[in-house]
C-alpha cells in the first residue's frame, strides 16, 4: 500500500489527523481536569467557610458542645471532616468510626489528592478554642463522581477518535485517489505513446489546478516531441536524398571509368571533374549538417564581446573577392557590441551575403550595414536580386527548403541549409532573423541580436 503515492498520502493524512485528535483530546481532558479541580477547590473553600461560621462560639459556650451540631451539617452536605482541639482530642469526626486521619493539609489551603484509594479535595482551617488556643478543622469531599465523568469523557473521546480515524482513512484514500486520477490518466497516455505515434493527447476535463497545469504541460511536451520527430524524419529523408544524387553521380562516373574511360583522356578528365565536384558538394553538405547538429546542442559556442563592424569588415573583404560582377558595399556601421561567438556570427552573415550574391542580377549590388537602438543590434544584408516569391517566404528558413521559383538570375543552387544555419545562429544568441522581399526587386535579410549588457566580459560565458 505504501509503495503508491495514494497509499502514502492516505497514511500521512490519517497520521496527521491522529496527531491532531490526540493533541486535541489531551488538551481537552487536561483542561477539564483543571476546571474540575478548580471548581472543587472553590466548593470546599465555601464549605469550610460555612462550617467555620457555625463554630462561632457565644460567650460561655464550649467548642465541644458546638462540634456536636457540626457533624449533622457536614453529613447533609456529603462531607468528611475532623475537628481536633489543641490537645489532640477529636471533637467531631465523619465518617463516624474511622480511625485513619483525614489528609494532611496546611491551614487555609486546598489540595486535590488521593485518600484511601479515592480522589478527594481537602482543606484545613484553624478555629478559635476559648481557653485552649486553636482547634484544627479538616474538611474533605469525594471527587469520585467528577473523576468518573472525566473517565467517561476520555473513553468517549477515544471511541470518537477511532471512529474519526477510520472515516478519515476511508475518506482520505478516496480523496487521494480522486486527486491522483489525472496522474493516472497521464500515465496511461504516456504508455500508449511511441515514437511512431505521438498523436495521443490528454483530455483535460478536471479543474484548472496544479494537475491541470501538469496535463497541459504534458500536452505541450508531446506537441514539441511530435514536431521534433517530424523534423528529424524530414531531416533524415532530405539528407538521404541530398546525398543519394552525388553518390549516384560518383558511382556512375566510376563505372564508366572502369569500363572504357581508362584509355580515353576526355572521358577520364570529364569523370574526374564530375567526381571532384560532387565530392566537394557532399563535403559542404556534411559540414553544414555538422554545424546544425552542433548548434542544436549548442556545443562549442564560445561567447565573448563582439564588435559587429569588425564582423562586417571581414565578411565584406572576403565577399568582394568572389562577388564577380556584383558589387558588395558597406553601409552605415553603428558601433554596436554584442555578447556572442565571433565565428558563428561571421558564418551567419557570410551565408546571407553569399545568397545575396548568388541570387542577384548581373551588375547588381549587395549592401551590408549595422544599425542599433536601445536594446537591439541589427545586421542587415540588402540585395537588388530576383527576390523571393511570397508563397516561399514562410519556408525559406526551413532545413533543405529551396524556393520553387528561383528565376533566371539564380547563379547557384545549394542544399537548403544555409538560411537554417543562419536562423539557428541568431537563436543561439538570443535573437532572431527576418526577411522582407519582393519578386524582381530584391530582398533584405536582418539578424537581430541583443546588445551586450553592462557587466558582461570576454571569456566568462562559454556554452
Instruction: Write the pLDDT tens digit of every residue in 69-123.
Output: 777 777 777 888 888 877 777 778 887 766 667 777 888 888 888 887 888 889 9
Cell of 189: 497516455
Burial annotation 394-421 (CB, 10 A radius, 16+ → b, else e): eebbbbbbebeebeeeeeeebbbbbbbb
CA distance 60 to 376: 116
Contact 448, 323 (CB under 8 A): no
Q: Is residue 308 within 8 Å of 337, Cβ to Cβ?
A: yes
List, as one string, the DSSP characters of 39-97. HHHHHHHHHHHHHHHHTPPPTT--HHHHHHHHHHHHHHTT-EEEEE-TTS-EEEEESTT
For 365-387, what is each residue's pLDDT tens digit? 999 999 999 899 999 999 999 98
Sorted by where each starts, the structural domains of the chain and their CATH numbers stand as: 5-151 (3.30.450), 210-294 (1.10.287.130), 300-462 (3.30.565.10)
Give tens-digit pLDDT for 394-439: 888 887 776 544 444 443 455 678 898 899 999 999 999 999 998 8
Measured CA to CA in angstroms, residue 435 lies from 176, 389, 409, 438 at distances of: 54, 12, 19, 10
Question: Is residue 356 scored above 90 in pLDDT?
Answer: yes
Q: Using alpha carbons, list the distances in angstroms from residue 391 to 394, 422, 433.
A: 7, 21, 18
What percentage of residues in the chain have a pLDDT greater than 70? 87
* pLDDT above 90: residue 364: yes
Residue 434 φ then ψ, to 5°: -140, 160
- Which of 47-51, 64-68, 159-163, 200-204 has the largest mean confidence? 159-163
Which pLDDT score, from 0 to 100, does residue 353 have?
A: 94
- Determine the Cα–Cα distance for residues 204 and 262; give it in Å rounded to an integer: 71
* CA angle, 133 then 139 then 144, to 5°: 165
The whole-number pLDDT of residue 410 equals 42
Q: Which of the four pLDDT bands, split at 50, 70 and 90, describes residue 306?
A: very high
pTM, entire model: 0.52
- 318 vs 227, more confident: 318
Sign, CA torsion 246/248/253/257: positive
Q: Is the pLDDT of residue 129 over 80?
A: no
| DSSP state at residue 302 | E
Question: How far is the C-alpha of 125 from the C-alpha of 244, rounded, in Å?
Answer: 117
Cell numbers for 157: 473521546
Exposure string for 242-254, b = 16+ CB within 10 A, e = fewer = bbeebeebbeebe
Amino acid at each position: 500500500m505504501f509503495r503508491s503515492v495514494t497509499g502514502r498520502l492516505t497514511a500521512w493524512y490519517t497520521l496527521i489527523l491522529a496527531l491532531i485528535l490526540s493533541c486535541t483530546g489531551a488538551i481537552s481532558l487536561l483542561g477539564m481536569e483543571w476546571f474540575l479541580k478548580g471548581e472543587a477547590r472553590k466548593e470546599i473553600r465555601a464549605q469550610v467557610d460555612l462550617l467555620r461560621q457555625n463554630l462561632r462560639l457565644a460567650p460561655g459556650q464550649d467548642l465541644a458542645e458546638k462540634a456536636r451540631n457540626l457533624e449533622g451539617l457536614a453529613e447533609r452536605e456529603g462531607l468528611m471532616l475532623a475537628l481536633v482541639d489543641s490537645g489532640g482530642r477529636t471533637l467531631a469526626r465523619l465518617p463516624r468510626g474511622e480511625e485513619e486521619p483525614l489528609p494532611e493539609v496546611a491551614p487555609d489551603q486546598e489540595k486535590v489528592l488521593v485518600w484511601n484509594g479515592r480522589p478527594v479535595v481537602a482543606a484545613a482551617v484553624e478555629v478559635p478554642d476559648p481557653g485552649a488556643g486553636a482547634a484544627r478543622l479538616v474538611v474533605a469531599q469525594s471527587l469520585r463522581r467528577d473523576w468518573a465523568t472525566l473517565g467517561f469523557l476520555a473513553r468517549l473521546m477515544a471511541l470518537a477518535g477511532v471512529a474519526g480515524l477510520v472515516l478519515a482513512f476511508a475518506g482520505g484514500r478516496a480523496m487521494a485517489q480522486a486527486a491522483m486520477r489525472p496522474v493516472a490518466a497521464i500515465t496511461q497516455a504516456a504508455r500508449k505513446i511511441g515514437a511512431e505515434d505521438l498523436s495521443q493527447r490528454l483530455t483535460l476535463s478536471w479543474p484548472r489546478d496544479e494537475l491541470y497545469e501538469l496535463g497541459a504541460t504534458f500536452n505541450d511536451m508531446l506537441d514539441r516531441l511530435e514536431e521534433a520527430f517530424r523534423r528529424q524524419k524530414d531531416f533524415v529523408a532530405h539528407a538521404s536524398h541530398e546525398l543519394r544524387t552525388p553518390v549516384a553521380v560518383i558511382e556512375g562516373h566510376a563505372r564508366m571509368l572502369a569500363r572504357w574511360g581508362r584509355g580515353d583522356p576526355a572521358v577520364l578528365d570529364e569523370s574526374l571533374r564530375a567526381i571532384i565536384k560532387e565530392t566537394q558538394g557532399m563535403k559542404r553538405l556534411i559540414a553544414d549538417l555538422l554545424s546544425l547538429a552542433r548548434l542544436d546542442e549548442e556545443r562549442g559556442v564560445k561567447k565573448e564581446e563582439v564588435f559587429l563592424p569588425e564582423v562586417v569588415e571581414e565578411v565584406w573583404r572576403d565577399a568582394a573577392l568572389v562577388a564577380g560582377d556584383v558589387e558588395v558595399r558597406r553601409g552605415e556601421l553603428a558601433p554596436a557590441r554584442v555578447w556572442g561567438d565571433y565565428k558563428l556570427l561571421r558564418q551567419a552573415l557570410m551565408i546571407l551575403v553569399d545568397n545575396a550574391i548568388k541570387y542577384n542580377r548581373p551588375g547588381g549590388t549587395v549592401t551590408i550595414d549595422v544599425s542599433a537602438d536601445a536594446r537591439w543590434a541589427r545586421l542587415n544584408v540588402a540585395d537588388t536580386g530576383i527576390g523571393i516569391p511570397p508563397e516561399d517566404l514562410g519556408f525559406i528558413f526551413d532545413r533543405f527548403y529551396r524556393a520553387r521559383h528561383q528565376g533566371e538570375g539564380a547563379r547557384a543552387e545549394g542544399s537548403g541549409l544555409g538560411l537554417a544555419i543562419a536562423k539557428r545562429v541568431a537563436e543561439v544568441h538570443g535573437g532572431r532573423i527576418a526577411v522582407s522581399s519582393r519578386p524582381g526587386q530584391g530582398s533584405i535579410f536582418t539578424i537581430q541580436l541583443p546588445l551586450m549588457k553592462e557587466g558582461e566580459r570576454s571569456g566568462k560565458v562559454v556554452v
